[in-house]
Amino acid sequence: MNDSRVWNRGRVLLMFILLLTATSCGFLSKAPEGSGTPVPVRSSEPQQTPVPTAEDPLKEMMADMTIEQKIGQLVISGVDGVQMDEHARELIDTYRVGGFILFKPNIASAGQTVTFLNSLKTVNAEAGGKIPLFLSVDEEGGRVSRMPDSFADVPAMQVVGKTKDNRMAADVGNVLAKEISALGFNLNYAPVLDINSNPDNPVIGNRSYGTTPELVGNMGVETMKGLASQKIIPVVKHFPGHGDTSVDSHIGLPVVNYDLERLRSFELAPFAQAFKSGADAAMVAHILLPKLDKTYPASLSPAVVSGLLRKEMNFGGVIFTDDLTMGAIMKNYGIGEAAVQSVMAGTDVVLVCHEYGNTIQVIEALREAVRNGKLSENRIDESVYRVLKLKYKYTLSDTETKTPDVQKLNTEIRQTLDKYKR
């Protein structure tokens, strides 16, 4: 059966499956209220790898996919320029990538961005794969913003955290979601759940809600829910915590020398709260934790990804790497080697944010790893299933987005934020 027909026909059935999964995993439970004790990290129930059933439309879809198409779903790529080009087209037509990420140089205006994303959707719809793309962006508010200059500003999360008002955190999540969905994006690498515990940290700072696990966990969960309420996929980051580092992982490899006892009581607590509150996706950082794994940074580490995140913390959602073109990886590994190691460790999606050649290297390395038996197709299938399930849950599609009324959107954003001005 044509996979586009399966995609559309299976929505109702999969929604039922997702509802059962959410109920059994506690995804529908309410987030802890107040600023009480951090949520314990340990889980009494083992992590369950998703197993498609005979009635599952995703199993039918996967059965019709080639291994090359499956591998493509595990890669999100950056693009060059501000419009569709031959490289972006080839990544869709030939390599069937699972999605794209745009940065500020790719976003010149609201109209241009909508046109760009619509062109990616159109090419994907015409390519025959018919699995909608992840169209992703880092839109945190404050200094990490990719929105056109014509959009109203959203404050840094440190400003939100200082209010200690969970309602503002939720409203900010809604505002961020409305901004990016207006342009056609469907996934946001936010909120930041790092605790700003090191004043010398060169990369987190005011991107964090604050200096305590309780504040970061409470407000981060509310922002996460605000994003999800507008059908934007939130990706909580940077697991297992980038707050107490003195090296920027964009440049080098940070080292965190804490043991599990410390991590459980502090860095991991906001993530534990988010997972208990139904987080669907998490990004793993390029930081080395020698007391957990002396060899590999967290993003490539079986001990961190499969051991800590999957098994101990019982996280069943989609696991993304941070960008593999960052200095922490590129200065220490070949990018193809890093991608293979990350998937072997248990990661579902690798981000390759810069340079077409890097994306091709990653895809070819993953293909070769399957050919030579280093990666099994069963291992690939586990991740593809999670990816398709997430795309289904958030009803991703290749339907074109209309150019937004920026003035109307800005009015709504400012009115929302003005409620919290002191």
Q: Which residues are catalytic?
A: 250, 322
Can you give the C-alpha Rg of the chain in angstroms? 20
Helical ranges in 308-355 per DSSP H? 327-330, 335-345
What CA–CA distances, in Å, run from 344 to 65, 304, 314? 21, 12, 18
* Residue type present at position 119: S
* Whether the Cβ atoms of residue 396 and residue 186 lie closer than 8 Å to each other: yes
* Whether the Cβ atoms of residue 71 and residue 366 lie closer than 8 Å to each other: yes
Residue 42 backbone zone (phi > 0: left; psi -120 to 50: alpha; other: beta): beta
Q: What is the widest separation between alpha-carbon atoms in the chain?
A: 62
| 371-408 per-residue burial string, b: 16 or more CB within 10 A, e: under 16 | eeeebeeeebbbbbbbbbbbbbbbebebeebebbebee
Q: How many residues does the chain have?
A: 422
Q: Is 242 exposed, middle or buried (0-12, 13-18, 19+ CB in 10 A)?
A: buried
What are the φ and ψ backbone dihedral angles of 339, each rounded to 5 degrees?
-65, -45
